Amino acid sequence: MFTRTVFALLCSLVVVLPVSAQPASDCLLTVILEGGSVYDGRGSEPQVADVGLLGERVETVGDLEHCTAGRRLDARGLAVVPGFVDIHSHGTRGVFDVPLAENLTRQGVTTAIGGPDGSSPYPIGEYLARLDATPSAVNFGLMVGHGTIRREVLGNVDRAPSARELEAMRAMVAEAMSDGAFGLSSGLKYPPGTYASTDEVISLARVAGEAGGIYISHMREEGLAVLDAVRETIRIGEEGGLPTQITHHKVLGAPMWGRSVDTLALIDEALARGVDVSLDQYPYTASSTGISILFPAWSLAGTREDVLARLSDPATRQRIRDGIIVNLRDDRGGDDPDNVVLARCGWDPSLDGMSLADVLTVQDRDVSLGTAAELTMELHEEGGCSGIFHAMQEEDVRRIMQHPQTMIASDGGILAPGQGVPHPRNYGAFARVLGHYSRDEEVLGLPEAIRKMTSLPATRLDLTDRGVLEPGAYADVAVFDLEEVDAPATFEDPHRYATGAVHVFVNGVAVILDGKTTGTRPGRALRH
C-alpha cells in the first residue's frame, strides 16, 4: 500500500497527457472533482468537466474518468470555482486568534489580504514569519499602512513631515515591500493619515510602485466631498506611477445619493487616459467603523488625553459637537440618530446592537441630532464603540457593483460567533453576491460575479497563479450548491455562517468537506 508521501511523489513524476491519450495507469492525481460546472474565474461561461488536483496545484481539467485519485468527489450539479480572494481584510489578529477562519472558508474565500485603511502590522517581515510558523486555513498577505508608518515616525500629529522624516517613511515603505508587502494602503479619513498632504502620500506611493506594488485607499471623504476624494486617489496613482484602487467604494449621506454616476465617470475618464485604476466594494447599504469617525478630524490629533482635554473645554466641546452634527446630518449618520447602531462597546456590552436613538430613549432624553452628538462624545469619553452606519442607497450599491473594474471584498475580519453585533459583511459578503445579487436579482451574471471575486483581485495583486481554475494554478478551489448559497447573517443577527459551500480546498487540502470544516490549516503567508 502506498503512503500518502510516496503516492504524491509518484504523482509528481507523471507527465499528464491530453485526456484522450492518457493510459489509466499513468494518470495519478490526489483529488478529482467529477462532473461539475467549472468556472475558470476569468468570466467565461462554465464547462462541465472533471478537475484533477495533484498536491498543491490544479493538474488538469477535462474528462478524467480513467485517472486514479486518492479521493473522488461527485460535483455533478455543483459549481466548481477558484477560491475567492478578499483584497480588503481586517483579519490580521483574527488569522491567529481564529485560525480556521470559518466565516471566510464557508463563503469560499481562500486568500485574504490584510493591512487596509492605512493600518498594518510592522515590521511586515516579522508578521509574515509568525504566520509561516502558525498557519491558518486561508492564505494571508499584507499591505503596508501609510498611517502605521506615519504614526511610527511622527506620532498622531497634524503637521507635515520634515525632509528627514519623509525619507524615514519612504525607507520604511521600501523595507515593507522588500519583506513582501503587496503595496501601500492609506486611510485618509482616519488619524494620522488624514493629516497627510496628497504630495506626502504620492511620495510614499512611488516607493511601493517602484517595487511593483499597488496603492489602495480608504479615501479622504465618502460623503459630500467624495468626488474630490476620487480625484485625489486617481492623482496619487497617476503621479505615483502605480496601480491605484478605491477601496470599499460607496456614496454616503442622502445629499449625495445617486452620485455614484459621477464617481464612476471620473474612474472611466481616468481609465481612458491610461490611469490604472480599480475599486472594490462590499454588498451592503451600511458601513462600519469606530464612532469616532463622526468627530471632526482636527479634534482627534494627539493622545487620548489630548482628545479628552478638548472635550472638557466647553468652547472646544461645542465646536466638536457642531462637527458631529454635520456628520450625522449629511454623512454617515443619514440624518437620523436611529441610523447609527453601536456594534460593540467593550466597556458596556449592554449597548451592543442599540442605535443612538435607542440609547437616548432609554436615558429619557430627546432624540435629535444635537443630543445624538452629545451622546457620541460621551461614548467616546467612556472608551469608545464601533458602529454601523445606515447611510447608503441600494441604487448606488448596484451601480458600483456592475462596473467592470469593481471587485468584491469583505472589509471584515476573521472571527467566530461571539461578542458584539458586528456588520454582517464579516460572514456574508461573498455569499450575498453569489446568492442575492447574482442568482436572485441578476445584477451580475454568475461568471462575472465570480471574476470579481477571483481573477480580478488576484491579478491586481500579481497573484497570477491564484484566482483562476486552470492547470498549473494553486489548488484553491470551492465547490458550491448554487441553489443553497445564502448569507443568513443580518444586521440584527450577524453571527451566522454562509451556506452553500460543499467543498473548499486551500493549496490542495480540504478545509471544508461535505459542508463540514475539517480542522486543517493549509494556508500560507503570501509575499509579493
Give residue limits of the domains in the chain: 1-116+409-440+466-521, 143-246+249-285+392-408, 291-389
- Residue owning grid cell 494627539: 302
pLDDT at 15: 34
Cα 209 from Cα 215, distance rounded (Å): 8
For residue 492, the 8-state DSSP code is S
pLDDT at 419: 87
How many CB atoms are located within 10 Å of the residue 514 CB? 9
CA 168 to chain centre: 29
Query: Grid coordinates in use for 348?
Result: 458596556
Q: What is the pTM of this model?
A: 0.93
Please tell me the chain's helix, strand, coil percentages from 3-state DSSP, rounded to the nearest 5: 40, 20, 40
Name the class of domain 1-116+409-440+466-521: mainly beta
> Which CATH code for domain 143-246+249-285+392-408?
3.20.20.140
pLDDT at 13: 33
HSE, side-chain direction, 13 A CA sphere, residue 355: 18
Query: Grid coordinates in use for 11?
Result: 504523482
Segments of 168-232 assigned E as strands: 183-187, 214-218
pLDDT at 292: 97
Alpha-carbon distances of 363 from 77, 290, 366, 367, 422, rounded to whole Å? 55, 22, 9, 10, 23
Residues of the chain with pLDDT under 50: 1-25
Q: Over the stretch 45-73, which tens digit does the pLDDT of each residue have?
A: 999 999 999 999 999 999 999 999 999 99
pLDDT at 18: 39
